């Protein structure tokens, strides 16, 4: 697909797409990655309308939408079709609130049902074993242990950890405040395990790593610069190989495990949603299926009537 500005699509549609993207960027404060995703989807739609002589995009018919979806399904997976539908629903909702259309033609079009996601998690004993094996003797080891405790105990993303600054921590209230995905402020509490490890790292280890360089970022690489995503991955991979862990270990598996373990322990779904920083509770609901499997497994293992000899 060509760039939107080089396309010969309907000029009015192109202008409205640009206005929508500005609205999402400056009013909704969405990230550049999200804006770029919207642009790709709307560009695809704009070119489709041109190829198929659909110039009255404001009153696009139900039949035109169905034809568009059939075209999408020929070359795209359900997840891509679902994402494009969500983009178009948002775009037309913007046109509606801007009083440029009277009805949203996509409001009654349901997203295709996606196959259940296969999410890897570590059980609580595996997490305990992994984190317990992380050494804490040298300055770099103290840094690593603090980062990995934050990864699991607070359910943080790697990007959130490496961008933490001193002002993000409130050690009196045991809270960490930061700007997460989508430029949204998030507040996550942390327990004494995290507090002890982070304070140990900040006590002297960080000073030894920083040396003459001065940085406001909490976690630094061995050169004294801000830790990178690649650097974090290498550290985690090193420990996974060293411990000979019989599991595919990657950063997000600790976030998945955090959410699942919280639900297993009885945490409210909306609280977990807030802790993870999910804008929609439907995103968090994927963990309830994992939690149901845990409940079922526990029931069949421990319920006395389930273990009786029925002969």
Query: Which entry of 222, 252, 270, 293 is annotated as an active-site residue?
Result: 252
Query: Which entry of 143, 186, 255, 261 is annotated as an active-site residue?
Result: 255
Distance between CA atoms of 254 and 267, rounded to whole angstroms?
Answer: 17
Distance between CA atoms of 267 and 260, rounded to whole angstroms?
Answer: 10
303 is an active site residue: no
Beta strands at 175-179 and 185-189: parallel, antiparallel or unpaired: antiparallel
Query: Which entry of 143, 206, 261, 278 is annotated as an active-site residue?
Result: 278
186 is an active site residue: no
CA 149 distance to own-chain centroid: 19
252 is an active site residue: yes
181 is an active site residue: yes
What does the DSSP 8-state code read for residue 5? G
Query: Which entry of 14, 83, 89, 157 is annotated as an active-site residue?
Result: 157
Distances, alpha carbon 24 to alpha carbons 44, 62, 100, in Å: 18, 26, 17
DSSP string, 227-296: P-HHHHHHHHHHHHHHTT-SS---HHHHHHHHHHHHHHTT--HHHHHHHHT-SSHHHHTHHHHHHHHHHH
Q: Is 66 exposed, middle or buried (0-12, 13-18, 19+ CB in 10 A)?
A: exposed
38 is an active site residue: no
Query: Which entry of 40, 181, 195, 247 is annotated as an active-site residue?
Result: 181
Distance between CA atoms of 264 and 294, rounded to whole angstroms?
Answer: 7
Distance between CA atoms of 220 and 50, rounded to whole angstroms?
Answer: 51
Residues tagged active-site: 157, 181, 252, 255, 278, 287
């Amino acid at each position: 697909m060509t760039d939107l500005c080089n396309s010969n699509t309907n000029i009015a549609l192109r202008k409205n797409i640009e206005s929508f993207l500005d609205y999402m960027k400056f009013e909704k404060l969405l990230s550049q990655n999200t804006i770029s995703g919207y642009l790709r989807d709307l560009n695809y739609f704009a070119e489709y309308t041109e190829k198929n002589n659909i110039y009255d995009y404001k009153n696009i018919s139900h039949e035109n939408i169905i034809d568009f979806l059939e075209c999408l399904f020929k070359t795209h997976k359900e997840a891509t079709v679902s994402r494009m539908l969500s983009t178009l629903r948002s775009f037309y909702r913007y046109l509606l609130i801007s009083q440029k259309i009277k009805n949203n033609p996509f409001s009654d079009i349901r997203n295709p049902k996606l196959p259940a996601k296969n999410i890897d998690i570590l059980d609580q004993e595996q997490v305990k074993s992994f984190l317990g094996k992380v050494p804490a003797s040298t300055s770099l080891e103290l840094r690593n242990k603090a980062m990995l405790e934050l990864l699991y105990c607070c359910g943080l993303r790697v990007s959130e950890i490496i961008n933490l600054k001193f002002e993000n921590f409130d050690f009196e209230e045991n809270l960490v405040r930061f700007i997460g995905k989508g430029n949204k402020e998030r507040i996550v509490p942390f327990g004494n395990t995290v507090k002890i490890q982070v304070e140990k790292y900040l006590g002297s280890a960080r000073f030894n790593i920083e040396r003459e360089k001065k940085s406001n970022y909490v976690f630094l690489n061995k050169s004294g610069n801000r830790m990178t995503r690649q650097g974090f991955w290498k550290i985690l991979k090193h420990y996974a190989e060293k411990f000979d862990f019989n599991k595919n270990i990657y950063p997000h598996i600790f976030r998945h495990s955090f959410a699942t373990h919280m639900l297993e322990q009885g945490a409210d779904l909306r609280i977990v949603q807030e802790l993870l920083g999910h804008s929609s509770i439907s995103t968090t609901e994927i963990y309830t299926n994992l939690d149901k499997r845990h409940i079922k497994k526990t029931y069949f293992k421990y319920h006395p009537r389930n273990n009786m000899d029925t002969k």
